[in-house]
Amino acid sequence: MLLQSLIGGLIIGVGVSVLLLGRGQLAGISGIFGNTITGNFGEGRWRLAFLAGFLLSPVLFYLFTHQWIASNIQLSLPGIIVAGFLVGVGTQLGTGCTSGHGVCGLGNLSTRSLVATVTFMFVAGVTVYIARHVVGG
């Protein structure tokens, strides 16, 4: 698992760097997805290509490992949909997501991104605690 995490982190770092150095764009998933939904595909439709790669990566992972990334999720489909909706609302309220703030923003030494990332991590910790110790018993 450690090797997979290291490789994944390296791939994210290279992808973010290529997008920033090659196009001058930040790799914030919520911004890329939001602009695509509103019809702002960008010159050369780079956002569509980025999202296609994002969606194809689990398939590539499966081809190499013969296992699905999310094979141990213990949440129903409606629960997954509600969780996805809440993440979308949160990215709008936080004016970005963990990839935009946590990877790109921190890499650019943004104070706003530091505050956002600390907030994301704190809320995630509280959520896990509540889920495991209060709700989950």
* Domain locations in the chain as residue ranges: 1-72, 75-137
What is the rounded average pLDDT for all residues in the chain?
Answer: 85
* C-alpha atoms less than 13 angstroms from C-alpha of 111 in its C-beta half-sphere: 0
**43-82 pLDDT tens trace:** 778 888 888 988 898 888 889 888 777 666 777 888 888 8
The pTM score is 0.69
Tell me which residue of 105, 93, 98 sits closest to 124, measured CA to CA: 98
pLDDT in tens, 23-38: 888 888 888 888 888 8
Phi first, then psi: give them for residue 73, nearest 5 degrees: -70, 130
Q: What angle do CA 48, 41, 63 make, to 5 degrees?
A: 5
Radius of gyration of the chain (CA): 16
Q: Which residues contact 100 (CB under 8 A, 6 or more apart)?
A: 26, 27, 28, 29, 30, 31, 113
